Amino acid sequence: TATFTNVSEPAAGSYTMSVSFMSVGQARSAVVTVNGVKQTVSFPETPDYNTVVTEDVTVQLKAGNNTIQFSNPTAGAPNLDRIIV
């Protein structure tokens, strides 16, 4: 599980979150939880451990600080590099 806290936005709304990751050997999924609301996101396989790719995910954020968590309780999740909202 990876948790990002204090993700701050000036206004509530729908935002695009770019997730940079690696998923070598197979596609993987992660449960992305934003302020308690969960969605499952599929991340495609990446070619090797030197190639970081980006997947865009739409998230609903509130004004002020938000908490974003990535997890997969049943299998391995992708290797996260960074998120940009």
Cα–Cα dist 22/12, whole Å: 30
Give kind and range of the element (H or E) at residue 21: strand 13-22
Q: With bands split at pLDDT 50, 70 and 90, how would you rate the model's confidence at 81?
A: very high
Class of domain 2-84: mainly beta
Cα–Cα dist 80/19, whole Å: 7
The mean pLDDT value for 39-66 works out to 97
Q: With bands split at pLDDT 50, 70 and 90, how would you rate the model's confidence at 23?
A: very high
Whether this prediction's pTM lies above 0.85 is answered by yes
- How does the average pLDDT of the chain come out, rounded? 96
The mean pLDDT value for 8-32 works out to 97
* Eight-state DSSP code of residue 77: P
Q: What is the pLDDT of residue 65?
A: 97
**Domain coordinates in residue numbering, the chain:** 2-84
